[in-house]
Structure 1
Amino acid sequence: MQTLISKDQLKAYAIDAGFSAMGVCRPDAVPEIADRLQVFVDEGRHGQMAWMAERMNWRGNPSALWPEAKSVIMLAEAYTPNHDPMTVVGQPDKAAISVYAQNRDYHDVVKKRLKAVGRWLLSHYPDEQIKVFVDTAPVMEKPLGQAAGLGWQGKHTNLLGRELGSWFFIGAIFTTIEFEPDAAEQSHCGSCTACLLACPTDAFPAPYQLDARRCISYLTIEHSGPVDLDLREKLGNRIYGCDDCLAACPWNKFAVEAREVKYAAREDLIAPDLAELVLLDDAAFRAKFSGSPIKRIGRNRFVRNVLYAIGNTRDAAYIPFVTSLCSDPDATVSDAAQWAMDRISR
């Protein structure tokens, strides 16, 4: 005989398992996202992320992803830094790496925890089913997170919460179990524009809108090939992701503490030397970033980013590091090296 549990019991278990917050919504709670996604893609704001335009019927309609699902359990997991992530931006000889990537890959950590919560749930509902998602399936986690009451999509389009701040990952458990949905959260950004003003590349055409083609996170992670010339200087020393808009949010004064030690920044990634990173060959790159989300962009794209940062220092001391890369077998790396050399030599 199965033992039924309440939503409050599920939430208590999830929090005990390491999550920071939980909410529930219906799969059809965000009918407006299909139109919003269509406009985003039609205007080309997804850049090279072709997967955004694929399976749009699923991405724009969570109910179509798994028609049998009756509830979506949205979970937040804090990775709040215990250091000021903007300090390194003022150190041009250092590399700025997004906080979330300064240790283990969150996909693996969050998914493992989601599965643990899911197994516990199914132990009480053995005849039901679940599917777990962490940022790798056609699921619009942020609108669903807002529908489930975790927070709201701010003017920078990221999810933030009054009791969470900005620094948290989102995971989803779709299930055939029917739970009472939570109230959706409303925006509490008010007249604040701190995140919009903080963006180095003016990637927000308007509040609550993002043009990924100008976003540093997109440019340093998703974009392959050379970055447009007019954007390279704006990258500064940001070589993997960007935290400027997140760090600027005043709601971070309420940010909850990260509980997972695997998110604690590695000392060698808080403010690493550009001179050290630019010398990494493929084997050294893979060894250094084993288990890190940085590994997925590969050595060539990573070194490209480091060379842009070096060019932005305009420091002739880097000439010996850059010279050999001007003839790198990868065309994008050699292009970045030549650009850096030109900047340094002016």
Structure 2
Amino acid sequence: MHQARETDIDGAALLAKLNGWARSLGFSQIGVADVDLASAEPGLMAWLERGFHGQMHYMAAHGLKRARPAELVPGTVRVITARMDYLPHTAPAGWQQIEFDRLARPLDATVSLYARGRDYHKVLRARLQKLADRLAEEIGPFGHRAFTDSAPVLEVELASRSGLGWRGKHTLLLSREAGSSFFLGEIYVDVPLPLTESTPAHCGSCRACIDVCPTQAIVGEYRLDARRCISYLTIEHDGPIPLALRASMGNRIYGCDDCQLTCPWNKYAKRAVLPDFDVRSVFDAPTLLALWGWSEADFLRHTEGSAIRRIGFERWQRNLAVALGNALRATGDADIAQALQGRRDSATALVREHIEWALAQRPQAC
């Protein structure tokens, strides 16, 4: 990063151009935030001190650098924030109820909507860099660094301060125009761009996201205990799923969308403009038994270029074993028990423990 510098460029005109370039790259909105996040520091430290970050040790390791962009990337004076919608363009009207219906069918497998297409890290990072390159063509070389959920960045805080939306009670960013079905990305820059205005919160007295959470992970308004969150448990957590939370996971095998599905603002969710987020055929209507039948080679083939691959085959099987146990309890389906038993002897110790738990969920009459 270069030293922070002054510029005689017309800021308003440059922002207008940035918006145009961003939209041509598939982004739906951009904003510009200041780097002074001091007011967010107490909340961040309190969250870390309570251990709500679980095994995400990198969050504690970076400490207050998360809230101090100019320390994370020296020379930073502004942060360009960007929103990219991911709701698949094929999602029909009433898609939220369709997803809730899937959750109610024990033998179906539920993968979070955002993960059914291409890995968003790759999509956003490449396009953020292209946006930075376009800006460099306009103003000359400048210091910058792009992030997409890839470093200790308080992206919701930055996005809310720059006017992309407000922090919902589930801690995700919400927009009146787009709900919460979008990804966020940032470009730290040493160019003093004009700031964009923040928007007020519009959650009011609604607590639908808090009430719907299967594991009560939203422990208070704007406070998430990641250790109870199904998204954390199925993706970030690499050990055994806590026994007390397994039944609540239902058929969710990668992530959890419940708090977004129930949010009234997601009736305004925008369809993705990029084909990258189209649903892969294997995740269109998957069943637990079909996915359980995958070999590791199958897993790697079907998840190539997908965010799902990052959890690895062992965690994938662990998550499926929990879901199959929940399905076995609900249905008593002998095919489930047979499929679980068929994998028990060859499974890793972690997966085997979850298989044995799953088999123990058989109704007594089975």
TM-score bracket for the superposition, by shorter chain length = over 0.9
User: Which residue does the alignment assign to 1:326?
Assistant: 344
User: Which residue does the alignment assign to 2:301?
Assistant: 287
Q: CA deviation at 1:327?
A: 2.2
Selected match of 2:245 from 224, 231, 243 = 231
C-alpha distance in structure 1 between counterparts of 2:344 and 2:142, whole Å: 58
User: Which residue does the alignment assign to 1:275?
Assistant: 289
User: Which residue does the alignment assign to 1:8?
Assistant: 16
Gapped regions of structure 2 (runs ≥ 5): 1-7
User: Which residue does the alignment assign to 1:209?
Assistant: 223
Q: CA deviation at 1:54?
A: 1.0
Selected match of 2:180 from 161, 166, 187 = 166
CA contact (8 A) 1:316 1:345 kept: no
CA contact (8 A) 1:97 1:270 kept: no
The answer to whether 1:341 aligns with 2:341 is no
User: Which residue does the alignment assign to 1:152?
Assistant: 166
Residues 3-152 of structure 1 mapped to structure 2, 5 A cutoff: 6-28=14-36, 30-81=37-88, 82-83=91-92, 84=95, 85-152=99-166
SS in 2 for 1:7: helix
C-alpha distance in structure 1 between counterparts of 2:363 and 2:346, whole Å: 19
C-alpha distance in structure 2 between counterparts of 1:207 and 1:3, whole Å: 42
Q: CA deviation at 1:344?
A: 2.0
TM-score normalised according to structure 2 size: 0.91
User: Which residue does the alignment assign to 1:310?
Assistant: 324
User: Which residue does the alignment assign to 1:298?
Assistant: 312
C-alpha distance in structure 2 between counterparts of 1:228 and 1:3, whole Å: 55
- Of stretches 209-218 and 220-229 in structure 1, the one that deviates more from structure 2 is 220-229
- Of stretches 335-344 and 317-326 in structure 1, the one that deviates more from structure 2 is 317-326
The answer to whether 1:221 aligns with 2:229 is no
Residues 60-112 of structure 1: per-residue CA shift (max 9 Å, x gap): 21221123112111000001241423332122111000001001000000111
C-alpha distance in structure 2 between counterparts of 1:257 and 1:288, whole Å: 24
SS in 1 for 2:38: coil
Aligned length: 344
SS in 1 for 2:188: strand
Gapped regions of structure 1 (runs ≥ 5): none
Q: CA deviation at 1:127?
A: 3.5
C-alpha distance in structure 1 between counterparts of 2:298 and 2:358, whole Å: 22
Residues 23-74 of structure 1: per-residue CA shift (max 9 Å, x gap): 111111x222222121111111111111111111311212211231121110
SS in 1 for 2:30: strand
CA contact (8 A) 1:96 1:270 kept: no
SS in 2 for 1:55: helix
Letter in 2 for 1:14: A
Deviation >4 Å, runs of 4+? 2-5
C-alpha distance in structure 2 between counterparts of 1:105 and 1:127, whole Å: 29
CA contact (8 A) 2:167 2:222 kept: yes
Letter in 2 for 1:32: S
C-alpha distance in structure 2 between counterparts of 1:125 and 1:258, whole Å: 30
Q: CA deviation at 1:13?
A: 1.5
C-alpha distance in structure 1 between counterparts of 2:271 and 2:315, whole Å: 32
Query: Among the aligned pairs, what percent are the same residue?
Result: 39
C-alpha distance in structure 1 between counterparts of 2:141 and 2:67, whole Å: 29
C-alpha distance in structure 2 between counterparts of 1:204 and 1:345, whole Å: 31
Q: CA deviation at 1:329?
A: 4.0
CA contact (8 A) 1:285 1:299 kept: yes
C-alpha distance in structure 1 between counterparts of 2:56 and 2:142, whole Å: 35
SS in 1 for 2:46: helix
C-alpha distance in structure 1 between counterparts of 2:159 and 2:123, whole Å: 19
Letter in 1 for 2:135: L
Q: CA deviation at 1:232?
A: 0.3
C-alpha distance in structure 1 between counterparts of 2:221 and 2:290, whole Å: 38
Residues 139-195 of structure 1: per-residue CA shift (max 9 Å, x gap): 111100001100011000001101121100001011111111011222110011111
RMSD of aligned residue pairs (Cα, Å) = 1.5
Letter in 2 for 1:134: T
Q: CA deviation at 1:345?
A: 5.1
Selected match of 1:192 from 180, 188, 206 = 206
